[in-house]
Amino acid sequence: MIPQGKEISDNDFKKLSNFIYTNYGIKMPDGKKGMLQARLQNRLKANNLESFKEYCDLVFSEKGRDTEIVHMIDVVSTNKTDFFREPAHFDFMTNEVLPEFMSRRNPGELKIWSSACSSGEEVYTIGMVISEFENHPGEIKYSTLGTDISTRILDKAANGVYAEERVAGIPMSLKKKYFLRSKNRENPTVKVIGDLRKNTSFQRLNLMDPEYFSVPRDHDIVFCRNVLIYFDRQTQEKVINKLCSHLKPDGYFFLGHSESITGMNVPLKQIKPTIFKKII
C-alpha cells in the first residue's frame, strides 16, 4: 500500500504527463496514472520528498531541469528488447544489404544507427550478423551507433553484460564465439566480447529534439524499431523525417513489426514489410 500523502493527485499527474509528452513524446493517458505513481516512488525516496507536489516543484525548478528530469525519464521510458528480435530484418541484412554493400568498388565503412537501442541487444546482434557474413572477399569495416533517451539503460548497453538467460535463444555456436561466461554460477552472466564492443558507441538522444546535432548524416542503415508506437501519428512522421536526414540516399530503414509509414510524407519506399529504402 502506498503511504498516505504519497499518492499522485490528478493535477500533479496532469502536469507531469503533459511535460513528458510535450518534451519526450511518451504518451501518458489517464490509465497510466498508477504506473507513473509506482515508477516514481523511488525518486521521491531518493530526493527525501514527502509528496508528489514536492516532486513536481523539484522537476520544474532550475535544479530539477539540470538533474532530476534525466532520472525521471530513465524510470518512465520502456526498455524492452531481445537479441535477434524480429529475425527477418537480420536475414535481409545477410541476404541483401551486406552483399550489396560489398559489391561496391570501394565500399568503405558500413555505418549503422540503432536509434532506440535500449540495453544494446540490437546493436550487438547487428555486430554478430556482420561478423558472420562470409560471402565477401574481405572483412567488412563497420561502426554502429546506439542512442536512447535513458542514461541508465545506455550504461548497461555500453557494459555489454547480460544475465545468462537473456542469451538462451542464441545458437550455441554464436554464444561461444561472441560471449564470455562469468565464473559466478549463483548469478550467471555473459559479457559481449571486445571485438564486437570496439565497433560500437553509445550516446543519449531524445528523438523529440528539433535536430540530432550529435549524429552524423552519412549512415547506410537506420534501425528505429518498436519506439514509434509510443508517439502519436504526427510525431511519428516528424521523427522519421529527422532520422532520414541522417541516412544516405538508397540507405535502408527498418521499422518495428507493428509500425507503419502508410499515409506519411516521408522520403522512403517500401522494399519489404517494415523494410524501406531512402528515396534519392
The domains of the chain, with CATH numbers, are: 10-76 (1.10.155.10), 87-278 (3.40.50.150)
Residue 4 has pLDDT above 60, yes or no: no
Q: What pLDDT digit, counting tens, does each position of 186-230 carry?
A: 889 999 999 999 999 999 999 989 999 999 999 999 999 988 887
Please, how many CA atoms are within 13 Å of residue 77, restricted to the half-sphere of its CB?
A: 29
Rounded Cα distance, 76 and 74, in Å: 6
Alpha helices in the chain (DSSP H): 10-24, 33-46, 52-59, 62-66, 68-76, 87-92, 98-102, 121-132, 151-159, 172-178, 194-197, 233-244
Is the distance from CB of 28 to CB of 36 less than 8 angstroms? yes
At 224, is the secondary structure helix, strand, or coil? strand
Q: Which pLDDT does position 2 carry in this prediction?
A: 42
Three-class secondary structure of residue 278 per DSSP: strand
* Listed residue (4, 20, 12) closest to 55, CA to CA: 12
Whether residue 16 contacts residue 39, with contact meaning beta carbons closer than 8 Å, is answered with no
Q: Look-up: residue for cell 565477401?
A: 136
- Tell me what pLDDT residue 138 has: 64
